[in-house]
Chains A and B, each alone.
Chain A
Amino acid sequence: KQEVTQIPAALSVPEGENLVLNCSFTDSAIYNLQWFRQDPGKGLTSLLLIQSSQREQTSGRLNASLDKSSGRSTLYIAASQPGDSATYLCAVDSSNTGKLIFGQGTTLQVKP
């Protein structure tokens, strides 16, 4: 059974810092991994999608890596801004089930 864990659960940083959010999963048989952002009371916005054959994806200040063998993904945010404050969710699409399994999320606060 696939389980997804995100560490830390919450993070507070001053503006301008580079930061890393961690995601681990128990079953390496994944189809893809997707990082989402959720603002309070809002829906999920897709940030980056990494296919199982890929090692990383980049979009602007965001970089996501994937290491299937160790069951880990990281989301790197460069030069953080107050507008980056949100909950970041890691979700794994398990190959066999077609289900998207979510982690509990990391709530990020970037202070001005």
Chain B
Amino acid sequence: DTAVSQTPKYLVTQMGNDKSIKCEQNLGHDTMYWYKQDSKKFLKIMFSYNNKELIINETVPNRFSPKSPDKAHLNLHINSLELGDSAVYFCASSYYDRVGGYTFGSGTRLTVV
């Protein structure tokens, strides 16, 4: 299936831990994104990578570090997790010119306890 896939789907962890979320797309897109959906269901962009290069970096704590080993993968590493990091994180991809719109993954629900 052509898609954007994220792992894990659910992540429960204690405060202070470090965790990673992985994302892969097989759509041939060259740009990938991380979005965060908060408890009020509002979606906001965090990062964007084009061909492994960071092009959008919103005001996100530097505990969040994205890494793109190639244009088909974009991982999100979070250090020293805090309660406020609990949210659903969505990966998305598109072509750089966004002609075909965006395709989103199914999300990773992160719960920090």
Interface set of A (CB-CB < 8 Å, partner B): 31-32, 34, 36, 41-44, 46, 49, 51, 87, 89, 91, 93, 97-102, 104-105
Does any Cβ of A come within 8 Å of B56's Cβ? yes
Asked if A44 and B104 make an inter-chain contact with CB atoms under 8 angstroms apart, the answer reads: yes
Asked if B105 and A43 make an inter-chain contact with CB atoms under 8 angstroms apart, the answer reads: yes
Among B43, B90, B100, the most chain A Cβ lie within 10 Å of the Cβ of B43
Asked if B103 and A46 make an inter-chain contact with CB atoms under 8 angstroms apart, the answer reads: yes
Asked if B42 and A99 make an inter-chain contact with CB atoms under 8 angstroms apart, the answer reads: no
Chain B residue contacts of A102, Cβ below 8 A: 42-44
Task: Quote the shortest CB–CB distance from A38 to chain B (angstroms).
Answer: 8
Task: Quote the shortest CB–CB distance from B68 to chain A (angstroms).
Answer: 16
Asked if B102 and A98 make an inter-chain contact with CB atoms under 8 angstroms apart, the answer reads: no
Chain A residue contacts of B109, Cβ below 8 A: 41
Asked if A99 and B45 make an inter-chain contact with CB atoms under 8 angstroms apart, the answer reads: yes
Task: Quote the shortest CB–CB distance from B89 to chain A (angstroms).
Answer: 11
Q: What is the predominant secondary structure among interface residues of chain A facing chain B?
A: strand
Chain B residue contacts of A101, Cβ below 8 A: 45
By beta carbon, the residue of chain A nearest B105 is A43
By beta carbon, the residue of chain A nearest B55 is A98
Does any Cβ of A come within 8 Å of B66's Cβ? no
Task: Quote the shortest CB–CB distance from A9 to chain B (angstroms).
Answer: 10
Among the listed A31, A98, A104, which residue makes an inter-chain contact with B48, where contact means beta carbons less than 8 Å apart? A98
Chain A residue contacts of B103, Cβ below 8 A: 46
By beta carbon, the residue of chain B nearest A45 is B104
Task: Quote the shortest CB–CB distance from A30 to chain B (angstroms).
Answer: 11
Asked if A100 and B90 make an inter-chain contact with CB atoms under 8 angstroms apart, the answer reads: no
By beta carbon, the residue of chain B nearest A46 is B101
Known: A98-B48, A102-B43. A43 touches B107 (CB 8 A): yes
State the CA gap A32–B102 with chains docked (Å): 10
Known: A34-B101, A98-B56. A43 touches B106 (CB 8 A): yes
